[in-house]
Amino acid sequence: MAERSRIRLEVEGLVQGVGFRPTVHRLTTQLGLSGFIRNTSQGAELELEGQPDQVAQFVPLLQQQAPVLARIRRVSTVSIPPTGETGFHILPSVGETLPDTQVSPDVGICPDCLREMRDPNDRRYRHPFLNCTNCGPRFTIVQSVPYDRERTAMGVFPMCEDCQGEYTDITDRRYHAQPTCCPHCGPTLTYLDGAGQAVEGDPIRLAQTQLRQGEIVAVKGLGGFHLACLPEHASLLRTRKEREGKPLALMCADLDAARALCHVSPEEEKALNSWRRPIVLLQKRDPAPDVLSHTPELGLMLPYTPLHDLLMEGFSALVMTSANPSDCPVFIRNREAVEGLQGIADGFLLHNRDIVTRCDDSLIRIFRGKEYPLRRSRGYVPQPLEVPVPVHGLLACGAEQKAGFALGKGQDVLLSQHIGDLKNMETLEHYQTQLQHFRTLFGVAVEGLACDLHPDYLSTQVAQQLSRELNVPLLQVQHHHAHMLSCMADNGLTGPCIGLIWDGTGLGTDSTIWGAECLAGDAHGFTRLGSISPIRLPGGDACARDPWRIAHSLLVEAGLEEYSTAPQAQLLTLQLNAGLNCPPASSMGRLFDGVYALLGGSSPVHYEGESAIRLEHMAQAGITQSLPVEVETVDGVCRLITPALTAALMERKAAGDSPHLLAAQFMNAMVELAVKQCQFARERTGLTRVVLSGGVFQNMYLLPCILDALAAQGFRAYHHSRVSPNDEGIALGQLIAAAARRKEG
């Protein structure tokens, strides 16, 4: 008998629900190997036996031909005695008590399933829930791991005989595809009218009819409900939802429909059509403001579920925006949606598969050929980010706006989906529920916590409570330091860097409001080397809603109060002079708000960041002239002299420069400021690497200009590509700081 060898393999990573076992079966058949495979809480366990040279080929082939959705982190092998086993077997999963595997994000419908759904001769013709190993719901339906059907929202739908046959046939595309189903055994659709009463007929056709009549339909999707309508009726949706100003996303039937509305580069086409199916910000063909967006950009996505594809029949595009009350999480349950959307939706397209985990649509743009995330959620979460330091057992609770958290597992960071602003009990409850879900789902015992420095953030208070309950240490990380570390981790940087961190507001180490920071340091600490002279904010947080308050403050500080057109200007001046509720803020975001108002921008604003976005798109392209940039050094910090900038702006405005020209001159001044402050930091530290983070760096006028200007001065500048530059990404930086503190002991 020919010599035989046998090995045992343990494969760690994302290998469940992604077609891993069929790939292994194909390779073992190709190599003539016998043995078995089974899912474990760590990934998968295999034993393989055959001719030694054939056994030796298996691991290299597996790594080359792994399924596209698989993420193999580690393969360990050990030789064991041959048993003479024949055939290859799939064994039941083991290891339910200590879940340690990864979970796949939700995957957009694949071409094979799409063809089946459109084929009148296929048994899944027009079935709105078909899927296979290569596509379909994952994260939003998983209750626990190992990833088997009974631990998902599909557990209540027993497979029919035909589906069971496909499920157990390892040569079939649906082999062990846990959500697999057909019209005989899967979820079903229903349609309700605006009063919540069932309507007889084909639910898809009924929804389409209402949409064509100009009405609004609530659609239960993958990770939550959408409100859908024709683009020409978006004003009605805005009125009913009380969503004035904030851009609305469109779902386009296909790439041709997207190209009819926007310019689409090859990289943007790839992102739109990827299995993640995010919303992609694109340049409109007609850049004029419209009811969908007041900017030259529009957020477009393609259908990512069979239900969406069916609904889009006959439409080139539909508004598809999250169905949620103002500032609250998106609805995921049928009853709460029907009750909560009364008076908003004229009909409800529902199904009876539960959404286990709420997950909004992701939002990205393509910047210099790479993804630039603005909201990392469906399709991306919970795929981990590998970082260059051990972070196992650490939990970072993030900030308060655009809340999100980060859980460390080995050298992986599991970032939560988009949570929202922690302004109300519903969002806070969602945040706390997901904190527990991630800890349980990924089997991580928390050994240390990190949060923001601000004591009033609800995320800080949650972290403090968890620290007491779990009896683990808590590290509070300064807001802009966390931003800096987030961008460093995003780029795999560990050594000291300069951090140019521009955002709205964050509590500084001196207990004042920061937001225009040039820092130098690493995960162990930082030095503040650049900022702007503080702007007093009459009314505090009210300034974010009413930029004219900031404009008036800028004018008063510059001795130009007579130019103010602010409502109640005299009262504001009295407030500023008395120092009543006028906290000083070195905030770049608030400076943008004030400049926008000085240039005639509307007030109040309707959503966070609106003034800055409008100012960005107000700026005329091709302008090289800049407002003068005067700086001063105060206590070792290179600061922009804000009143001097205001005075120059008003002088040029009085001379007749247009708001579009002045907006560009202001942006160019900020580019000059960035270079001046980084040069100041380099002189004092010798550092040449610069990371750019904070919500201001969502500005596509500033970001490329600053990157190029820094490069021209010998700096190596880095930007985000895996996590958002806004507060959503801050938990990653907090986690890195906590890892450094733990290493220090």
pLDDT (0 to 100) of residue 99: 43
pLDDT (0 to 100) of residue 101: 56
189-351 classified as CATH 3.90.870.30: yes
Contact of 31 with 58, CB cutoff 8 Å: yes
pLDDT (0 to 100) of residue 417: 97
Query: Which among 677, 589, 593 is positioned nearest to 630, based on CA atoms?
Result: 677
Q: What is the pLDDT of residues 149-182, one digit of tens each?
A: 999 999 999 999 999 999 998 888 898 899 999 9
DSSP 135: B
5-90 classified as CATH 3.90.480.20: no
pLDDT (0 to 100) of residue 321: 96
Q: From its phi and psi, is residue 584 left (phi > 0), alpha (psi between -120 and 50) or beta?
A: beta
pLDDT (0 to 100) of residue 608: 85
SS3 6: strand
Give the CA-trace dihedral at 34, 39, 44, 49, to 10 degrees.
Answer: -10
Q: What is the pLDDT of residues 61-96, one digit of tens each?
A: 998 888 877 888 889 999 999 998 888 988 887 754
- Does residue 97 register a pLDDT over 60? no
Looking at residue 69, its amino acid is L
- Which residues, in sequence order, are CB contacts of 45 under 8 Å at separation 6+? 8, 9, 10, 11, 37, 38, 94
Looking at residue 392, its amino acid is H
CA separation, residue 40 to residues 171, 413, 519 (Å): 22, 21, 45
> Dihedrals φ, ψ of 143, to 5°?
-95, -40
Task: Report the distance separating Cα 408 and Cα 393, nearest Å.
Answer: 5
Q: What is the mean pLDDT of residues 556-573?
A: 92
Percentage of the residues of the chain whose pLDDT score is greater than 90: 84
DSSP 326: T
DSSP 561: G
Task: Report the distance separating Cα 417 and Cα 439, nearest Å.
Answer: 14
| DSSP per position, 142-169 | B-SSS--GGGBGGGGSPPPHHHHHHHT-
The reply to whether domains 189-351 and 384-489+728-738 share a CATH topology is no
Half-sphere exposure of 438 (CA within 13 A, CB side): 27
pLDDT (0 to 100) of residue 275: 95
Task: Report the distance separating Cα 148 and Cα 165, nearest Å.
Answer: 16
- Does residue 670 register a pLDDT over 50? yes
Residue 568: pLDDT band (50, 70, 90) is: confident
On average, the pLDDT of the chain sits at 94
Q: How many CB atoms lie within 10 A of CB 409?
A: 18
Domain boundaries of the chain, sorted by first residue? 5-90, 189-351, 384-489+728-738, 501-720
Looking at residue 173, its amino acid is R
Strands, E assignment, 558-630 = 584-587
Q: What is the pLDDT of residues 334-371, one digit of tens each?
A: 999 999 999 999 999 999 999 999 999 999 999 999 99
Distance of CA 158 to the CA centre of its chain: 34
> Dihedrals φ, ψ of 378, to 5°?
-55, 135
Which residue matches tokens 């990404």? 729
Tell me which of 98 and 421 has the higher pLDDT.
Answer: 421
Task: Report the distance separating Cα 195 and Cα 215, nearest Å.
Answer: 14
Q: Which CATH class is domain 384-489+728-738?
A: alpha beta
Tell me which of 715 and 14 has the higher pLDDT.
Answer: 715
pLDDT (0 to 100) of residue 17: 63
Task: Report the distance separating Cα 130 and Cα 124, nearest Å.
Answer: 7
- Does residue 2 register a pLDDT over 80? no
Q: What is the pLDDT of residues 307-328, one digit of tens each?
A: 999 999 999 999 999 998 877 8
Q: What is the pLDDT of residues 249-280, one digit of tens each?
A: 999 999 999 999 999 999 999 999 999 999 99
What is 501-720's CATH number? Answer: 3.30.420.40
Percentage of the residues of the chain whose pLDDT score is greater than 70: 99
Distance of CA 677 to the CA centre of its chain: 30
Task: Report the distance separating Cα 417 and Cα 415, nearest Å.
Answer: 7
